[in-house]
Amino acid sequence: MSIEGADFIMRNWSGPVSGRSLKIGSDEHKTLFCRMLLETHNPYKPAVIEWPALTPDARQRVMSLPIWDIAVQTEGRASIRVKTFAALVADPLLRSALDMDAGEEARHKVVLSKLVQAYGIQLEPEPDYAIPRDPAEQIGVAIDPPTLIELCLAENDRRMAGYDGRLLRPAAVPMLARFALRLFRAPIVQNFAVKARNN
Ligand SMILES: [Fe+2]
């Protein structure tokens, strides 16, 4: 199977249609949700990822991001939390979905460790978490907050569109993001931003 074909299967999934509407919180809902998680899981191996060669200044920018220690540690902590919770769950299907997720968090940690290794980034036990004066310079991309939020919302819609329409989607964060976007786009806030830029 082509990489594109495998990628499509991981991002588009629907369960069997029973003819009746799905009751949220029912056993049927749980089965559909767990099966979606398990059947769309991508079995890639972090060790075979070919990290692209970077120009010296791009590599320098990647190396200077003050996130690598906390990112690696966060994935490690997430994995042990999910694994611990999974061990308490009696339902075999739900437990296997949770075990898969714990393994997924551990894999994120391996991916980050490989990335760090590939670009010669030294992990410090005590990183400097100084607040950057201009985070957008530091990553080399000029993007204003409303454009970033729009991009995230569009990507969220695109990513969620492929899955069974009966399953629930994350609601709170997209709703807050849309609210924040409306605030950013409000004339009073726009005028304030223009004045701040001109001063
Ligand atoms: Fe993760």
Q: What is the 19 CA–ligand 1 centroid distance (Å)?
A: 36
Taking the model in full, what pTM does it have?
0.72
Which residue's structure tokens are 């569009």?
A: 154
Q: What is the 193 CA–ligand 1 centroid distance (Å)?
A: 35
Q: What is the 4 CA–ligand 1 centroid distance (Å)?
A: 23
The pLDDT profile of the chain, 199 residues, written as one tens digit per residue, is 788 888 888 899 999 887 788 999 999 999 999 999 999 998 889 988 999 999 999 998 888 888 888 898 888 888 888 889 998 899 999 999 999 999 999 999 899 989 999 999 887 664 343 444 554 484 455 678 889 899 999 999 999 999 999 999 999 999 999 999 998 888 777 777 677 766 6
